[in-house]
Structure 1
Amino acid sequence: MLVIPYVYIAAVYTAIYLLVRAAVSLRNKKIDWKREMLHILMYINLIVIIYFTFSPLCLDLNEIFNCRINLIPFVYLLDYDSGAHMIYNVFGNIFMFVPTGIVLPVLYKRLDNFFKVLGTGFLISLSIEILQLPFADRASDVDDLIMNTLGVATGYVIYMIVRYAKNPGKQKANLPGVLKQR
């Protein structure tokens, strides 16, 4: 079995990130530092997500695609050894994706409503669950998908509350049934 430490995963991901950002900066000539900071925040968020979902990365060719998949929502939540483990899992999955729901609509103007941000967060989480399939020490779980998407939704609500608080009455809210303009 080959174990790849997180430091190596982060180093490769950082190199790719820096190459992409350098290419974009060279193309645009002028650097928008506010936007660049948002990209860095999103990068840090993704690095944290990768750490918690893939670290350590264990490759065993004898066990590759020996998938553990849970497609039934909430069936395993009560199987934890203690309530503390369950709470850690549920809230960890939610909190891990809250920054995604905050940064996405700020960084990408096309993600201008709740459902676009929620869908993007869902697709990010689904990608992670699919990427975990080949690894015997990982499990793809619909509960994680639900909790991660809930985290994105929570982040978007926080984003909208802050946005509305900064300019009350100037902006219409893009939340279904929440913060409607008067």
Structure 2
Amino acid sequence: MLVINIYMIVGFITLCWIITRLVVFLLTKKLNILRELQLILVYICIVVISRMVLLPLHLVNGHLGTIVFDASRILPFWMNLKPFTFVNDFYDGWKTNVIGNIAMFIPVGIVWPFCFKKLNTIGKSILAGGGFSLSIEIFQLLFFDHCSDVDDLILNTTGVVIGSLIYFGIKKAADKKK
């Protein structure tokens, strides 16, 4: 059993980020400080979403809560594969969950196409953001107290769609002005 806190999550993401950026530097032999500063936006998206998804939103004894990895309790996976259960299954906080899942991924739809030039269409941006959301849902299968939910995937991807529409709408308006 491993109890995971916010510092461990941020530390792991930061370590992976640094290693990735070092590998890119070693392969390209280029360091563009402006590009690295731009990519910090992606890093922030990943850290904030990881915090929101993995840890309880409420404080536990005045502190951020933790998650527990216990290999003996992973199976059976806890998941919902029936779409739109939130429409029928109203529970305390369902509105916050719906709005939060959408709002949390709007920045992904804006930041990722801004930072990654290959995400040059709304479709590519949505596919990348939806893939990110899917990877989070799969990752949650490792934690017995988390549920992987197709509704979260739908809502998160809806947030990416909204963010992409905002980004590409602004980009189109800016291109028209030129």
Cα distance in structure 2, aligned partners of 1:146 and 1:168: 32
Tell me if structure 2 keeps the 8 A contact 1:66–1:135. no
- Map of 1:75 onto structure 2: 85
Which of 100, 105, 120 pairs up with 2:108?
100
Tell me if structure 1 keeps the 8 A contact 2:102–2:159. yes
Output the aligned Cα RMSD.
1.9
- Map of 1:54 onto structure 2: 54
The 10-residue stretch of structure 1 (53-62 or 138-147) with the greater mean CA deviation from structure 2: 53-62
Which of 133, 147, 165 pairs up with 2:155?
147
Tell me if structure 1 keeps the 8 A contact 2:109–2:162. yes
Kindly indicate which of the two structures has a greater share of residues assigned to helix: 2
- Map of 2:142 onto structure 1: 134
Distance apart, 1:22 and its partner CA: 2.9
Cα distance in structure 2, aligned partners of 1:94 and 1:76: 13
Distance apart, 1:77 and its partner CA: 4.2
Instruction: Report the residue type matching 1:136 in the other structure.
Output: F
Give the gaps of 5 or more residues in structure 1.
Answer: 171-182
- Map of 2:61 onto structure 1: none
Q: How does 1:9-88 map to 2 (within 5 A)?
A: 9-55=9-55, 56-82=66-92, 85-88=93-96
- Aligned with 1:76: secondary structure? helix
Cα distance in structure 1, aligned partners of 2:116 and 2:98: 28
Instruction: Report the residue type matching 1:72 in the other structure.
Output: K
Number of aligned positions between the proteins: 168
Give the gaps of 5 or more residues in structure 2.
Answer: 56-65
Deviation string 1:28-58 (CA, Å, 9 cap, x unpaired) is 4443233212210001100111112222321
Tell me if structure 1 keeps the 8 A contact 2:122–2:168. no
Tell me if structure 2 keeps the 8 A contact 1:38–1:107. yes
- Aligned with 2:71: secondary structure? coil
Distance apart, 1:123 and its partner CA: 1.0
Instruction: Report the residue type matching 1:24 in the other structure.
Output: V
Cα distance in structure 2, aligned partners of 1:32 and 1:157: 28
The 10-residue stretch of structure 1 (24-33 or 146-155) with the greater mean CA deviation from structure 2: 24-33
Change (3 A) 1:153 1:127: same
Instruction: Report the residue type matching 1:152 in the other structure.
Output: V
Q: TM-score, normalised by structure 1?
A: 0.83
Cα distance in structure 2, aligned partners of 1:36 and 1:24: 11
Identity level (%): 40
**Runs of at least 4 residues off by over 6 Å:** none
The 10-residue stretch of structure 1 (111-120 or 69-78) with the greater mean CA deviation from structure 2: 69-78
